Amino acid sequence: MPELSQDKIRIVPEPPAEKLSQSHCAYAELDVTTNFTFLTGASHADELVLQAARLGHHAIAVTDVNTLAGVVRMHDSARQVADAGGWTPKVIIGTRLVFDDGPELLVWAPDRGAYANLCRLLTLGRRRAPKGECLLHLADFLDHSAGLLAGVVPSKPFVKTARVMGDLVNALGRDRLSVVMSRVYAGDDQTRMRNVASLAKRFGVDLVATNAVHYHEPSRRALQDVLTCVKNKCSIQEAGFKLWPNAERYLKSPEQMRRLFAEFPGAISRGLEIAERCTFSLSELRYEYPDEVVPAGMTAIEHLTRLAWEGAAERYPGGIPEKVRGLVLRELELIQKLKFEAYFLTVHDIVQFARSRGILCQGRGSAANSAVCYCIGVTSVNPDKFNLLFERFVSAARNEPPDIDVDFEHERREEVIQYIYEKYGRERAGMTATVITYRGRSAVRDVGKALGLGLDVVDQLAKRLDGWHRGTLNGEQLRDSGVDPNDATVLRLVGLTAQLLGFPRHLSQHTGGMVMTRGPLCEMVPIENASMEDRTVIEWDKDDIDALGILKVDVLALGMLTALSKGLRLINDACRGDACVAVDAERRVYKQFAAAPRRDAGVTTTEEERATQASPLQLHTLPSEDPVVYEMCSDADTIGVFQIESRAQMSMLPRLQPRKFYDLVIEVAIVRPGPIQGNMVHPYLQRRKLLREGRGHEITYESDELRDVLAHTLGVPLFQEQAMRVVMVAAGFTADEADKLRRAMAAWRKNGAIDTFYPKIIHGMLDNGYTREFAERVFEQIRGFGEYGFPESHAASFALLVYASAWMKRHHPAAFCAALLNSQPMGFYAPAQIIRDAIEHGVEVRCVDMNHSDWDCTLEERHEGTEARRHEGRERGKSEWGLSGPAVRLGLRRVKGLKAAHVDLIATVRQRVGRFESIDHLHRATGVSVATLRLLAEADAFSSLGLSRRQALWQVMSLSDEEMPLLDRVEEGSGVRVAEGSGVRVQGSGKASAFPEPLTLNPEPFPAFPEPLTLNPESFLPRMPLGQEVMTDYCTMGHSLKAHPLTLVREELTQRKIVTAKRMYELDEGWVKVAGMVLIRQRPGTASGIVFETLEDETGIVNLIVKPDIYERFRPAARYAGLLQADGYLQREGKVVHVIAKRMFDLSHLLAGYQFSSRDFH
């Protein structure tokens, strides 16, 4: 969500009305380290700007060490103060360059050209160093010094500095070079200053005075010391001379500076002169769109207009509806006016690329409010059916770029990103950074450690700040941690923590914001390496980019798109495969088409095949409004379905009873903190009930205008757009005012800005004839929305995916199951539950087998006469629509530790030889390492050879990687390499070897390998009991098809008077004991600390509700148990049955040895 980044919005303190110090002397501070020199600077940019303004500084430079990351903050703070009518000093953009081979330099950019040089220089230094570091040589600077002003910071011994002075003077000239002199009350100030002066004189260079500012006022010394400690990983007591002796590095008043430099008055005036020469401001950075996206001979708007109308014609084959026509016209006009056309084209280009590569994608967020986006294929929300609010997307008044988020298949997003890098080049495209800031927890931890508090105490304190509270510690929290809140150290801790909150800690990469420019991006902002290979990141984050009006496209990843894409491919291939069903019962009919969804060779062929196909199923061609799909959703039978698979959603579904697409939109939006906190859920459900009972006329609206706005949600505002429209129609807001309100809503938690709208809303509504009571209620609702409301268009985008995934689950459960498994990790549920859910719906799931499985899960024909595995839980009423469909063959990706490359190798060779007759055959034919075979054996993947796990393992153990004289065996015509890791000795510890290297194959046919073993391992190897089989299944694959683990301990559980899930559903309300493996633990932010846990046993699922006091009391069990027993009250709410837990016990020891993992606290 683009609007959810207000963490970084800091409340700007009141700007001074006028210059506080009406000084007669002027001064420009040219050496200012902000907190973007991480763990060094101890003041925010805005604090520095405001302080400089108060003191009446002529100018203030920002010179962070080897970075420009903080310059936008400084620039923007000054602009905000100026906007608010205050006086601000001029902001000079600069850097403190630290070289590996020379003295430090302060560098200031006087104009755009010099700035570009500086950016290039920093990009150079950062691209050749690892992430977050910068490696510069003095020679680099000499190469890139054109236009820049520089000040040498002489360091002892001065001889070293003097040695490079000559070079600097030659490169820059005496005019652009200065020698920096600062006076920070060290004992030897006088001598040092004279030495510096004589150095400057020797080279004929002017002196410039600075105060080496690290904080805006002396009181920040403590924080600066703490940061130094954090940086040096020591405590304040040990820090010693790593700290500075005094607090002099603050912004001093011009008078003070003049007095300190009374001996060198020229140094002050030189500073002013430099400031005068620096005319560059960041607002000069004009963003220019890349022009590749516009075909030659056309203007951008012409091209966009053409695309829009062409797209519209395609979207509406039956003629473009009037409403849409009007919208598109209006939007195009606005786009042209704001010159955003290139941006739309850029996004269109990316989406077009994704489509051409068969990557599913969909725009969402506020962009879905645009009809043009719909027409050019970026979003899928039909403007004809929804009331779009274009103002929510683009506003004429707010001179800010729109924000388009596009989701791509999560496994293939990298392709899109690399496409962008390729198309625009690394010089012109970069990913946005994210500034990681200190939050409560990390701040307490670091400050506590620096103050020398014991790790115990620090951990305790940090723990009290559970989650993401932005607050600081209060007395109660302190006492709870066993700390005396009046203790001096603790008071210091509290104070320093509060100061540290919001400080940037390091830069990280944004989840997908890409910036593209027409000119070189590295002349606009330094680019650095990301921790991920092949990615480059700019130094500015999203807010910085917004502040400068630079456009970015969010290229996001969505797992469900991957799953849908894979599922559709499976279905399409399966349908085509119908023709060849009879060919070979043993062979998989669906397989050969489904085999290569991801890997290179497969893509083109599949693409071709699909092209020749008459009408493949596609995301937007799914049959719409299918009643059985809604029926399934209403039964909350939605494991695996996008968005509505969470506990909260699943308990809402039976109450909401979705019957049409719009209900899904509401379902997605209503189970959100916003509507829940705004108390909109119950009114909406009540009204819906009225409607269902045919009493729709009883639903009342305050006015006709409001009816128009709220009718589709039965009079309850559920979406952000509705809140905006309500104030527009009822309180007389303009569209831009409404947008401001939205932004305030987003940030009200921070600064309560929304309350400033209170009078305007109330009075506006009173003026329009609404009652005060109603007005108050509306205001409360808007307030409650806060940041957590969904815009309708966004919910609609999501609802499309909800419908698509639900449709697939209902009509193609096998494909759906396989697709979900192939897209892991994603979603709420672990693979074991997805498999189980499929089985419950009648899908036959087959175990992994090296003679049948690929890397991915595949679909296989259901054998004649085979009954689907009946699952005990099925009688619970789950339908069996999977019975007639294909079976799922689990892929070897389920086996932990296997490598895709090895499995592919096996699959390729298998296609040629038909079938592996023995382990030895497999080993010789493919040359996979023994370690890989071992993994296969341990995963019980040799059952088609009639070998049990232990037998297979016994045989594998006799093999050796070294004794493979026939490693380089080839079959004719196939260029496929068959041997693996030649010469790579793989330890038999379960680690597979490296990726295979190509080898030549020789044309000798495979001889049959009769197993030379004279002994039958069955005679001496003990049989594996069922319990251990299940256990090993879980250990190697995370699921078992043989039995549910709880069947192994059921007897024990029955003795404990624990009922099965199935039995529980038959019980009346009352005390009950249940037990099961914990699937999910969730603590929704809205549920006031209540934790929802989902237990699973062999018969079904139990929903637990754990109140906070119970959770705390039984914390070890509640938080960590894999197998949990819960005693409590059974409660029925319609079809939904909960157990309100009162006691919880950890039964994991019963299943000692298993490895389960629940998905905790998503």
Binding site residues, another protein, CB under 8 A: 156, 185-190, 192, 221-222, 225, 236-241, 243, 245-248, 259, 451-452, 454-457, 459-460, 463, 482, 488-489, 492, 938, 949-950, 953-954, 957-958, 960, 988-989, 1015, 1020-1024, 1028, 1032, 1115-1116, 1119-1120, 1146
Residue 227 vs 802, nearer CB to another protein: 227
SS3 100: coil
Residue 75 vs 192, nearer CB to another protein: 192
Residue 240 vs 694, nearer CB to another protein: 240
Give the Cα separation of 569 and 574 in Å (integer): 8
- Evaluated on CA atoms 587, 593, 599, 600, the torsion sign reads positive
Distances (CA, A) of 1109 to 850, 1081, 1083: 50, 16, 14
CB of 503 to another protein, least distance (A): 19
φ/ψ region of 818 (left if φ > 0, alpha if ψ in -120 to 50, else beta) reads: alpha
**Listed residue (126, 116, 46, 57) closest to 282, CA to CA:** 116
Distances (CA, A) of 67 to 428, 435, 487, 761: 19, 13, 39, 45
In 678-734, alpha helices (H): 681-692, 704-710, 720-730
Count of all residues that appear for the chain in the document: 1162
Residue 406 vs 1117, nearer CB to another protein: 1117
Residue 188 vs 533, nearer CB to another protein: 188
Residue 342 vs 451, nearer CB to another protein: 451
Whether 182 and 211 have beta carbons less than 8 Å apart is answered as yes
SS3 64: strand
Residue 582 vs 1020, nearer CB to another protein: 1020
Residue 246 vs 621, nearer CB to another protein: 246
Give the Cα separation of 991 and 932 in Å (integer): 8
SS3 846: strand
**Listed residue (909, 913, 1123, 936) closest to 1037, CA to CA:** 936
Angle at the Cα of 905 (from 904 to 909), degrees rounded to 5?
115
Residue 423 vs 463, nearer CB to another protein: 463
CB of 436 to another protein, least distance (A): 18
Residue 63 vs 224, nearer CB to another protein: 224
Six-digit token string for 784 = 């409650």
Q: What is the DSSP string of 430-493?
A: EEEEEEEE--HHHHHHHHHHHTT--HHHHHHHHHHT-TT------HHHHHHTT--TT-HHHHHH
CB of 1117 to another protein, least distance (A): 8
Whether 509 and 537 have beta carbons less than 8 Å apart is answered as yes
Give the Cα separation of 544 and 213 in Å (integer): 23
Give the Cα separation of 3 and 1103 in Å (integer): 34
Give the Cα separation of 910 and 928 in Å (integer): 13
SS3 887: strand
CB of 1042 to another protein, least distance (A): 16
Q: What is the DSSP letter of 250?
A: B
Type and span of the H or E element at 169: helix 158-176
CB of 1154 to another protein, least distance (A): 15
Q: Which residue has the tokens 């990390």?
A: 442
In 657-791, alpha helices (H): 661-670, 673-677, 681-692, 704-710, 720-730, 735-751, 758-767, 772-785
Residue 352 sits at φ, ψ, to 5 deg, of -60, -40
CB of 793 to another protein, least distance (A): 42
Count of CB atoms situated within 10 Å of the CB of 534: 11
CB of 1013 to another protein, least distance (A): 8
Give the Cα separation of 1153 and 689 in Å (integer): 50
Residue 103 vs 597, nearer CB to another protein: 103
Residue 195 vs 1131, nearer CB to another protein: 195
Whether 79 and 50 have beta carbons less than 8 Å apart is answered as no
Whether 550 and 518 have beta carbons less than 8 Å apart is answered as no
Q: Which residues pair with 1095 in a beta bridge?
A: 1078, 1102
The beta-carbon contacts of 441-446 under 8 Å, at least 24 apart in sequence, are 441/465, 442/505, 443/497, 443/500, 443/501, 443/503, 444/473, 444/493, 444/497, 446/226, 446/230, 446/500
Whether 52 and 45 have beta carbons less than 8 Å apart is answered as no
Residue 259 vs 707, nearer CB to another protein: 259
In 519-678, alpha helices (H): 542-548, 559-576, 591-594, 600-612, 627-634, 647-656, 661-670, 673-677
**Listed residue (255, 243, 176, 167) closest to 211, CA to CA:** 255
CB of 950 to another protein, least distance (A): 5
